[in-house]
Amino acid sequence: MEVASVVLVDIFIMYLAARVAGEIFVRLKQPAVIGELLVGVALGPYALGWIGVPTAGMIELFHGEAVAIEALAAVLEVIAELGVIILLFVVGLETRLSDIMTVGRRAGAVAIAGVVLPFVLGYGFVSVVLGEPTIEAIFIGTALVATSVGITARVLGDLGHIRSDEARIILGAAVIDDIVGMIILAIVSALGEGGTVSLGQIGLIALQAVAFTVFVAVAGRQAARRWSAHLDRLRIRNAPFVVAVLIMLGLAALAAQIGLAAIIGAFLAGMVFAELSEQYELERQALPLYEFLVPLFFVITGSHVDWRLFLDGSVLSVALAVTALAIVGKIVGCGAAAYGLGWRRTAIVGVGMAPRGEVGLIVANVGASLSIIPDAMFSTVVIMSVLTTLVVPPILTLLYRGQPTDADAEAAAGATTGGEMDYAVQDGRLPGM
Amino acid sequence: MEVASVVLVDIFIMYLAARVAGEIFVRLKQPAVIGELLVGVALGPYALGWIGVPTAGMIELFHGEAVAIEALAAVLEVIAELGVIILLFVVGLETRLSDIMTVGRRAGAVAIAGVVLPFVLGYGFVSVVLGEPTIEAIFIGTALVATSVGITARVLGDLGHIRSDEARIILGAAVIDDIVGMIILAIVSALGEGGTVSLGQIGLIALQAVAFTVFVAVAGRQAARRWSAHLDRLRIRNAPFVVAVLIMLGLAALAAQIGLAAIIGAFLAGMVFAELSEQYELERQALPLYEFLVPLFFVITGSHVDWRLFLDGSVLSVALAVTALAIVGKIVGCGAAAYGLGWRRTAIVGVGMAPRGEVGLIVANVGASLSIIPDAMFSTVVIMSVLTTLVVPPILTLLYRGQPTDADAEAAAGATTGGEMDYAVQDGRLPGM
């Protein structure tokens, strides 16, 4: 009971702080997610120390009692993981494959530009300018590849633009980026472990990832259409929602097992059920899970930030340079690929692709655990992940100032969605603000 | 990522097994909860070993990878804890204080009889018949006191009788039993730790527990009434639901901190919001959390059962005797106190108070961790908790056979609940079947 009752206090503190901060930021006309990340930093082990643990594997006195620190860290990690899975599932529920297809070519171009330019910039800076070893430079390049779609999706949702064209481009491109990033990470990890990686292995990893995504997105949607009639025959209560949750958990676990990020599976599961969402009130039922778990994800992500790193001048200057390259790489690369949408949307796509968030942190953790990157470089990637994440929400907010939201656009188009009153997305926003 | 991705697979397996077993049991006209408990036993570390861990504190190969077993155990423990908190919160949302008040005296009598008789029977058997030390006998007596209201509430909900008079008596009496049981456990633990407990300390523990319950139940309801208008002024989305979840987490954490069970806090939080539930769709929004977490609680509870204990003749005979006393004590004690309700309802109250479930397991764990009770007696308490829990659902199902459900009773009384179509409780059942 010890760990559970300590964690219960932690969860309460995190949820309370997240919601108070969210309320304050909404009143300041900023996305709630910034408030949640900042209270995470403040409550975390490097500041107030009310939640979380600085390092795994050690036992210390905590909340006045001896608790296995590693266990506590694992619990928070799992809660955060479930939170981001729900987040991407809900985003997936709002993303019909046909919608992504209409922006597919553009999303592909944005994704490729968003992979190549940041990787080259990161690799070049660390290898040529800093003169560090090649493997370290490759790792930093890899950390700059993936987009943390969670942050941008949340901000777009908070601002009421999740159904816009640019949002679809960003979501589609981010999914592609994440897949490419995970493939590169898998390859680089194999390189870092000292073994050589054959072209065959690289091909296998890549094939798995692409096959998984295409198979789930296409075949899953077919299956959902064909079998949806059977959902009504199940005797368990709320069977459609239960089955959707099952598929979400299953695809998330499967994606994690084959070396992709769990969130990719969750997003695809949402997409599979997107067409059934309205009929079975899936999104409406997923939203309470979202309200419960997603703010905890952002608080826990924030709590991983050691703000003291920012006080070391040499670490900070390298980190700021890498951060600048990370932002410039995505804005220039993705922006160029998005050329022709008008300056505002082009800028939104570029900026929206910039956050590295937990994906950058994953790469940093892998690199550190394989002893490929030294502590200072680990700090650099952490700072880059945090800064690219913190900087994006206010810039997107500014870029969208005065723009009509999804709901405005739909009202103007005279769109109606039938008799059902969908309270949660009635003005085109995801909940949680 | 290691623990999180292993746990993700565990959660998927548990959820899939729970839902398949639930579907099968519903088709067999049995409560889904039995299926969930049984798959927990089957999947658990003592049988298939697909989920959970046999003992904390050791590191082994698991799912082919080295994982901190303690961390994994802690994660499952927290998920189960959140599940049972949500379960009691939803039960609380259906329990208006005024309803409990109408059966208050009767519930009090049932509770007192349900504390005294089982304690005396357990103490007497272990002390006089088995000749074990007094402190051990006191512990076994304590393990027989508390009622695991979660199991009975779930079965009553599954069967569609959660709003009946006998359900209210059981819920009220179980809350009182839990409070008394926790007070006794706190006192006995202090005794077991070798120190002496002054009457003043006993009084303090008791006072805290009673004050907490009465204060929350009465003052909380007043506060909810007075401040409900302010809920509409909050800018965060779904503010009433968010605030209700906050209060649930806060009271659960507080109850755990002052030495009560977290579920008591969660139940009281639900009661506080019971009158606002319809207006703000609180129950409807809590149900997806219920669908996600509650089946996991029952699977994890089942996974703690070491079925091999049943194979040891001497352990088994003592365990069966204690189990018989546990059941007889509650049926005779609570049944006598419920006398006058008619044989069927009297029997339902007696049987419904019998499960010890996770409360018995908590007492067993405390006793074992303080080295008060030997392994065989620990096994006895575990078997008693499991058997009292497994036996009750089918007996209750039998006792209710052919009886009109809440929905039938309301339809017969011409009751209408306004325009809102409450899909989840439309026939008076809790979801999850």
Token pair recorded at residue B36 = 């969930």
Average confidence (pLDDT) over B306-320 = 83
Check residue A56 and give its pLDDT: 36
Q: What confidence score (pLDDT) does residue B285 get?
A: 93
For helices B134-143 and B104-124, the axis angle rounded to 10 degrees is 150
When pLDDT is averaged across residues A301-320 and rounded to a whole number, the result is 82
Give per-residue pLDDT as tens, B165-205: 888 888 888 877 777 776 777 677 766 665 556 677 777 77
The stretch B136-148 carries a mean pLDDT of: 85
Instruction: Please tell me the number of Cα atoms within 13 Å of A187 on its side-chain side.
Output: 21
Task: Band the pLDDT of B430: cuts 50, 70, 90.
Answer: very low
Confirm if B298 and B25 have CB atoms less than 8 A apart.
no
In three-state form (DSSP H/G/I as H, E/B as E, the rest C), the secondary structure along B273-284 is HHHHCCCCCHHH
Nearest to B291 among A77, A82, A238 (CB): A238
Q: Which residue in B26, B242, B288 is closest to A236 by CB distance?
A: B26
- Residue A390 confidence (pLDDT): 81
Task: State the pLDDT confidence band at A63, using cuts at 50, 70 and 90.
Answer: very low
- With beta carbons less than 8 A apart as the criterion, state whether B259 and B205 touch: yes
Residue B164's region, left for phi above 0, alpha for psi from -120 to 50, else beta, is beta
Question: What's the mean per-residue pLDDT of chain A?
Answer: 80
Provide the pLDDT confidence category of residue A178 given band limits of 50, 70 and 90.
confident
pLDDT tens for B93-118 read: 887 777 677 778 888 889 899 899 99
Average pLDDT of the segment spanning B8-19: 94
Average pLDDT rounded to a whole number, residues A66-83 = 79
- Tens digit of each residue's pLDDT (9 = 90 or more) over A20-33: 999 998 888 777 88
Give mean pLDDT, residues B124-135.
88
| Number of Cβ within a 10 Å radius of residue B206 | 16
Average pLDDT of span B125-145: 88
Q: Is pLDDT at A431 greater than 50 in this prediction?
A: no
A420 pLDDT band, cuts 50/70/90, is very low
A418 min Cα distance to partner chain B (Å) = 18
Considering A58-62, A99-103, A259-263, B104-108, the range whose residues carry the highest mean pLDDT is B104-108
Which of the residue ranges A158-162, A303-307, B255-259, B357-361 would you say has the lowest mean pLDDT? B357-361
Interchain CB distance below 8 Å, A289 and B289 = yes
Crossing angle, helix A149-159 and helix A69-93, to 10 degrees?
50
pLDDT of residue B329: 93
Tell me the shortest Cα–Cα distance from B128 to chain A, in angstroms: 32
Tokens encoding B400: 């209710």
Across the interface, whether the CB atoms of B429 and A257 are under 8 A apart is answered no
Average pLDDT over residues A227-256: 88
Q: What is the pLDDT of residues A382-405, one digit of tens each?
A: 788 878 888 888 898 899 888 888
Q: Does residue B3 carry a pLDDT above 80?
A: no
Q: Please give the C-alpha separations between residue A389 and each of A83, A361, A395, B387, in angstroms, as whole numbers.
A: 17, 11, 11, 52
* pLDDT at position A2: 60
- Name which of A125-139, A332-346, A361-375 the model is least confident about: A361-375
pLDDT at A11 (0 to 100): 94
- pLDDT band at residue A52 under the 50/70/90 scheme: low
Measured between beta carbons, which residues in chain A are less than 8 angstroms from residue B32?
Answer: 236
Q: Could you tell me the pTM of the whole model?
A: 0.80
Neighbours of A58 (CB within 10 A): 10
**What count of CB pairs under 8 Å joins A to B?**
193
According to DSSP, the residues that pair with A65 across neighbouring strands are: A62
Nearest to B81 among A4, A32, A236 (CB): A4
How far, in Å, CA of B303 to CA of B298, rounded? 9
Residue A22 to residue B71, Cβ atoms within 8 A: no
Give the CATH number of domain B80-406.
Answer: 1.20.1530.20
Q: Is the pLDDT of residue A59 over 50?
A: no
Burial A63-83 (b: 16+ CB within 10 A, else e): eeeebbbbbbbbbbbbbbbbb
| Fold of the domain spanning A90-296+308-403 | Na+/H+ antiporter like fold (1.20.1530)
Q: Give the residue extent of every domain in chain B.
A: 80-406
* Statement: residue B79 has pLDDT above 90: yes
Q: Tell me what the mean pLDDT of segment A288-298 comes to.
A: 93
Contact A11 B249 (CB under 8 A): yes
- Percentage, residues of chain B above pLDDT 70: 85
Q: State the smallest CA–CA distance between residue B433 and chain A in angstroms.
A: 5
Q: Look at B1 and A256 and tell me if their CB atoms are within 8 Å.
A: yes
pLDDT at B217: 80
Mean pLDDT of B31-49: 84
pLDDT surpasses 70 at A429: no
Q: Which residue of chain A comes nearest to B291, CA vs CA?
A: A242
Residue B246 and residue A5: Cβ atoms within 8 Å? Answer: no
Residue with the two structure tokens 């368990």 = A236
